[in-house]
Chains A and B, each alone.
Chain A
Amino acid sequence: MAAPETSTAAVPTLYTNNTLRNAFGGVLSFFILLLIGVLAFSIRLFSVIKYESVIHEFDPYFNYRVTQFLTKKGIYEFWNWFDDRTWYPLGRVIGGTVYPGLTLTAGTIWWLLNSLNIPLSVETVCVFTAPIFSAFASWATYLLTKEVKGAGAGLTAAVLLAMVPSYISRSVAGSYDNEAVAIFALIFTFYLYLKTLNTGSLFYATLNSLAYFYMVCSWGGYTFIINLIPMHVLLCIVTGRYSSRLYIAYAPLVVLGTLLAALVPVVGFNAVMTSEHFASFLVFIIIHVVAFVYYIKGILSPKMFKVAVTLVVTVGLAVCCAVIAVLIALVASSPTKGWSGRSLSLLDPTYASKYIPIIASVSEHQPPTWPSYFMDINVLAFLVPAGIIACFLPLSDASSFIVLYIATSVYFSGVMVRLMLVLAPAACITSGIALSEAFDVLTGSIKFQLPGVTSNAEVDAGETSSDTSEAQTDEVKAEKPDDTSKNRPSKKSKKKERELAENPPAKATAKAKAKAEKKRLLALPLEASVISLLLLVVLGAFYVVHSVWAAAEAYSAPSIVLTTRSRDGLHVFDDFREAYAWLSHNTDVNDKVASWWDYGYQTTAMANRTVIVDNNTWNNTHIATVGTAMSSPERAAWEIFHSLDVKYVLVVFGGLIGYPSDDINKFLWMVRIGGGVFPHIKEPDYLRDGQYRIDSQATPTMLNCLMYKLSYYRFVETDGKAYDRVRRTEIGKKYFKLTHFEEVFTTHHWMVRIYKLKPLKNRIRGKAKKSKSKTSSTSSSKRSGTKKKNPWL
């Protein structure tokens, strides 16, 4: 920060040379950025090339359906949309429960293209939204890192982010999910925060609130921003870095940002009511107190100031205690202490598995394993510590923010796999800084050691562009304090040049000289630097190879189409769509389909049929009802489904071809979630000695439950042995009949099986009596549980 401004020697020729080089550097970095954008976009197209242009997985199908609705019906209809095709019979208020950012973004793009008479379908726009926004995200990373450590680090970080596998996994073409635009919004918000912090401009502060608003629109992860920035502000205050720039960066964000956030229907009053946001208000108060104290300090003599402090502290403490007491009472009165389940499971990693199985059942909410770090951020994991060290040399407001960002995101990623995504940009930025600094040092020492380049001027000319621009930003920063009134920040670099020209132009050369002096001392031996440079390049190459592999192989599968390579070529398993297409064409449009909640979004989007539960797991009881039905014997399940007006039951079965994530493997979660609400479902009943098995050792409860029966109905007739390829065993009960369900469709590879509920049988007098006397003995014991068994009767 504090650059020495001592030298006065003016060398105009060198200076013009410098501007030319800057201009050249500007053009070069523009093209590099353009290429980075192309790279970020094209590395995500593997899924389209290898498979097809199709929406992936589960949640994207919901977003796609919402976008279709938006483009068809318009924005006002969208806000008021009550969806009666899901969560039957409750329905869902989509307009008020969805983060609209992604949908509105894609809808706007679609509208724009169509008004230019470019007839792209909504699906195409949705598929390519994520790659486009990852290009934006890498540009935002460049800007953010440039604010921290200069353009060189910015470019390195941008190129790293463009192909970081963790981010690719969420933003391949077709992965039309909130994270696709949210990561861009996150980075861009951070950039604008740092930009405001560095310039102290209200213009950027306003932009920052708008970017924050976009982030709130896009993703629930906005709470990360609204907690991280206050933490950083607090850190700055505590470490004595308070300045008016900090105040400008923070106070407008809280006020405007909260107001804007409250405009988003899904957030609404949560923006001021829930505990996730309290930290920002607390810090808002603190920063005002601090600002006030600084102001008082300025107008009072030191002695008077001391008196004032003691006075204020005593009064203030009393008031604070009162306020905090009220707050604590308010918070404590709510059952979850004002925190949502997901946030709580972030603070206490064991919370979800203890209390909310529905959150714990989602695989992406599990803590990650070590290999997944290597898979998702690869060599960045090793570069991050170096980057953190580089951030401390020297520590600025901006670099301290990066340190805080990486520290918190490492913690969060350790709690949930999904939050690796938040870690990825931080890791890219720190690694970008580390790499750039390392290259800087190494190339610098090589140049220094090479014969013939010893003169000062030439060392200066040989400096990397990153170095000069860094020097330049340093200068601008250094100038700030003495002539802020004159120096209004402009976005044109040209203007900066002019200002520089007005100032004594010698600064740059003087600084360069000083740097060269410093470098001479820091220079490494030639061989060592060449070798380490090579090693760094190899490391980078390894990263690129890994990222391309991850993009091509690991993360490009759309999961609704599976492929295997065998000797006789590529084999495609397109069973999901087969089933959904069958449902959509051959059942009545108002039929209700029951399945485990994973397939809810896909069923509504692809088959256009009403579902009971879907991936928006907002009603635990409803999901538990379906879970209970799946884990009940046939008759009881039929009653539950019948009371829900269900006509078809869909199960996913991988036993024939060995598709591991089928319903039998998810079944224990159904039991757990069902048992959480309806206690007659007990997990131990389905386990033999604590082991989950479906072979001959399985418990009778397991072998008689609906899920088992629907999955394995007539399975034995395929190979005669009923060998389940996923569980690698023969199933326990091979021959059985269904009495209340009938098979109406099974896909080609048996992956999806659809059953229809048989209608009620006409009551025959003699038969009814007989069955009554027969069941009365057995049902008497169950009677106690029946009331709770079916909540819809």
Chain B
Amino acid sequence: MPRADPAGMAQTLALDWLGDAPKDGRPKWDNKFQYFLSCLGFAVGLGNVWRFPYLCQTHGGGAFLLPYAVALVFEGIPLFLIELAVGQRLQRGSLGVWTAISPYLSGVGLGCLAVSFLVSLYYNTVLSWVLWYLLNSFQQPLPWSSCPLGLNRTGLEEECQGSSAVSYFWYRQTLNISADIRDSGSVQWRLLVCLAACWAVVYMCVIRGIETTGKAIYFTALFPYLVLTAFLVRGLTLPGAVHGLTYLFTPNMQTLQNPRVWLDAATQIFFSLSLAFGGHIAFASYNPPRNNCKRDAVAIALVNSLTSLYASITVFSVLGFKATNDHGQCLDRNILSLINEFDLPEQSISRDGYLAALAHLNTTQPERVARLSLKSCRLEDFLDKSAAGPGLAFIIFTEAVVHMPGAPAWAVLFFGMLFTLGLSSMFGNMEAVVAPLLDMGVVPRWVPKEALTGLACLVCFLLATCFTLQSGNYWLEIFDSFAASLSLIVLAFLEVVGVVYVYGMKRFCDDVKWMTGSRPGLYWRVCWTLVSPLLLLTVLVTYIAFLAQKPPSYRAWNPQYEWFPARQEKRYPGWVLAACALLSLLPTLCVLGAALAQLLAQRTRRWRPRDADTR
């Protein structure tokens, strides 16, 4: 299709960070540090704290860092630079950028918009849970430290006794979860109120775009690092922290032979940097065009990965403390049973002497010992207990915090950190939703920006209320698994291919040279043309293969389950599977739909002039 070339760019384009009035009223960053922090805050999110440590632990400890580094160097950084460079050069949000590169690729921008919208919905719901826990942390003793009394006050609540106080607080008092996804239940007003507060906070911060988020980001991006450091210092001084660190970081090279490990590393680096959301494109578009985006890309990606590592050291030391604590309590319980049964003097069996005493009693009176049905206490079993996602934060970590001296303060710090981590990611998500709408002029000029962001937040809040139902957690897991993963890989693949092959590698390299002053080297060019697209394609195919291997199922919290407190594995009903498929395919459909619409528009335009000629 013809592309008109004006004789040159506007003189007003010659700006650097010291320039003055922005071209056509486009907002701009106050300083470079604000932009850096915004991109960093968007990239560093909840996943750095609760997904990376879990992956490290389950995939061979220190050995996982190898596939992670490979993925970072060959997939993460090249893709990241493409996003920043393209946004900075074309000075538009994701929708405008892809329309400018090629109208057939405008669907990529629409897909990014759709993905950002879907992710905003459930991401802020997770933040509302964090807020609920934060609000409940301002009391001593913490509400999840002990079981509440049952209905007739003679004993503890049954469901709580069967599982644990923290699980009960999470599943019953927070979520009030139903036993099946088909059973929607009622809206939980506590969660609804927290959700409203979260959306109000988000609105307050993004009300005028980067003008307001730029001020808020100083706090929300830096506070987590302070808290992580505090937790690291506290964690390393707790007993048993070293066990956690050594056990969980000891590399197990055998696991590298499992393709699942490489797949997880590739997807983790991908989601960790928040690629293909359109948020980085939007942030970079507010830069002056002459800015060293190459340095920014490498710096932000490295800091993001180092943050993941830093967070996992903190998390592991606290988990090591918890495992040691649980192990000690297990031993104490067994010792008490032995002492009570054999009427031995108090404190006659120490934790170290437990095994010897047990062996002695087993040889002398094995039937009585067998009747006690003692559980075996091995430290490795407790260290192996791991969880990712909300399970780590709301069950495991909360239990660990209860045993720390000064528990409410640590709980407040921990949930405050999670809240600010998620909030800075939400800024990027909302920017990715609002900036393209503003760029494409969907709203008339007289509508103020505050109204548009308000409308976006209101719509998101109303749609997200379905996550406050009793089955909301199951739906959130569906969104988490299906809404983002597949689509982002597809969109990223189209991004790389679009920039390298449609826009043209030579033109892109010239642009980068103009912006940064140096041409991209061999590493960049090889990655962009060959390695990254191939890697993405492999990841996509492997991902679909793993998905197709077994039908998707979910684990329900059912107090009536015979193996309670283990979670009951259930299959998704048909209509839920259809919803999952729709969610994963929606952004891809946007891409195809937009391309098709453009094709039709071109055809009709070609037909109309021909009609005019023949008349």
- Asked if A and B bind, the verdict is no
